[in-house]
Chains A and B, each alone.
Chain A
Amino acid sequence: MAQYIKPLPQITAETREFWEGCKRHELLIQRCKDCGVYRHYPRLMCPKCGSWNVEWVKVGGRGKVYTWTVAVQPFHPGFFEDVPYAVVIVELEEGVRMVSNIVDCAPEEIYIGMPVEVVFDDVTEEVTLPRFRTA
């Protein structure tokens, strides 16, 4: 594996389960055990009902592009060869949103509402990033 020089996520106690799931190529999202609402990013308390009762659920990884932009200036040396690339917010079928990239189409082909599904990118031995492809 070529040396990976882009910034890597800082894995914390709260997010470890999520990243461990990614390594197994499974998208895990937290769900409140009291009100059933999904939440992402991972955290202690349900934003809807305040419950601390939580479970991790393997979700389908299907969703739609909610909004997008195109990064043109590489503000980090790791992105010199990537620009221009799209940064999208994907809304999963479960209702939560996440920031990611679309791996299989040019920035100008991306549109709001575009159906996408998760793919996993093993960027280092420790870290796998969830990205999306057209579905």
Chain B
Amino acid sequence: MGSIKDRVAIIGMGCTKFGENWDKSAQDMMVEAAYEAYNDAGIEPKDIEAAWVGTVNSGEVGNFLAVPLRLQYIPVTRVENRCATGTDTVRNACYAVAAGIYDIVLALGVEKLKDTGFGGLGQAYTYLNPVLSPRGAAVPMFAQVATRYFHRYGIDPMEGKKIIGQISVKSHHNGSLNPKAHFQREVTLEQVLNAPIMGWPLGLFDCCPVTDGAAAAILTTPEIAKRLKPKGDYLLVKALQIAAGPGDHQRKDDYDMIHWEETVRAAKRAYEEAGIKDPFKDLSMVELHDCFSITELVTYEDLGLCPRGKAREYVEAGTFTLEGQLPVQPDGGLKSFGHPLGASGIRMIYEIYLQNQGRAGKRQLKNPGLGLTHNLGGAEGGFIMSVAIFGPPGS
């Protein structure tokens, strides 16, 4: 098996303000994200040789991107892989560059949900496990993982609710420092705990919002990147992994409901691909798929950022805050930056890109470097998980 490490560079990125973008169509947001990325890369639209567009709900085929951007008869492919759509869009584009077929390509993710009546995660999905998520509602599925996790580690449910509540407080704080975030207000633990319950123990502030937005990346070879960006203000792709679960989620002997095997497998392969021995020490930031606060807690452990059952101690010590040893969701995460499904994976890369160029404003990290992105799509009994790693030249 080959490796993508250091074979593809990201030389330009763009991202719209995420939120309730009533005044913009999906096409408007695609133009905005793409042109920010073109300008950032210092290229012309005509330099794009092929493009990939990721969307779950908002468009069907390649023309969905080719038309608003007026791409001139180049190959354009639509990618859909649930909440891992954005990352898989980048992955497809990277492989085409690494294969030596194209010099400069565009990967763009977009979702326009607010005026479609989309009522929440899970509704868009046709295949679901009829045992564990029979009607596709995401809240009860993740709530049942929270209940089981608390039980497994002897945590009183009210105590457990406080632990995951601190994760939302942290992400809202980071989002308050981000002018492109959907929510830019802090919340207190008291507000989180007193918010209306969606599915016990998850309350309103344990859930990410439904969001509109688009994000784009221009990809090329490391050689061209050096030429176009001699100051080194680009990112190198270090790892791109996807794991599609086979449905080991139905019997007592195959699934414990306190971890997600897809994340574990994708992370293991990504660390091997990037040459990472200890993710907690080697990574400088993580953007993981915090669709719910409990998802973030469990994913700390699945990514190997802390030992099994110890996530509580790390949360209580502030390890994953902006000032902590390993900032997680420095940009506010899905919780606060928002979750336009097809755009989310590329939005995560955008933060690693900005941080490494010292462009992250009030949330700028002192020592940025390798960053990890993680997406979790679908449902118990068949998640699509992505783990990708990016770093500046020389990392």
Contacts and interface: CB of A to CB of B under 8 A. Distances in A.
Nearest to B119: A75
Interface in B120-178: 129-132, 134-135, 137, 139-140, 143-148, 151
A105 to B, nearest CB: 15
A47 interface: yes
Interface string B1-33: 000000000000000000000000000000000
B257 interface: yes
Given A69-B140, A69-B143, A91 B196 contact: no
B99 interface: no
B197 interface: yes
Contacts of B199: 69-73, 87
Nearest to B141: A69
Given A39-B250, A69-B140, A69-B147, A99 B196 contact: no
A73 B203 CA distance: 11
Given A47-B250, A112-B147, A97 B132 contact: yes
Contacts of A60: none
Interface residues of B, number: 31
B115 interface: no
Contact of A97 (B131, B140, B146, B151): B131
B247 interface: yes
A77 B201 CA distance: 23
Interface residues of A, number: 27
A103 interface: no
B141 to A, nearest CB: 9
B95 interface: no
Nearest to B120: A75
Contacts of A68: 144, 147
A87 B140 contact: yes
A36 interface: no
Contact of B251 (A71, A73, A96, A112): A96
B131 A66 contact: no
B286 to A, nearest CB: 27
Contact of A69 (B144, B151, B248): B144
B277 interface: no
A47 B247 contact: yes
B253 interface: yes
A91 B200 CA distance: 20
A96 B146 CA distance: 20
Contacts of A72: 196-200
Interface in A62-81: 66-73, 75
B252 interface: yes
Contacts of A96: 131, 250-252
Contacts of B198: 72-73
A87 B132 CA distance: 11
A52 interface: no
Interface in B199-250: 199-202, 247-248, 250
A99 B131 contact: yes
Contacts of B196: 72-73
A89 interface: yes
Given A47-B248, A67-B147, A99-B131, 13 more contacts: A38-B251, A40-B131, A66-B148, A72-B200, A73-B197, A73-B198, A73-B199, A75-B119, A75-B137, A84-B197, A89-B257, A107-B200, A112-B147
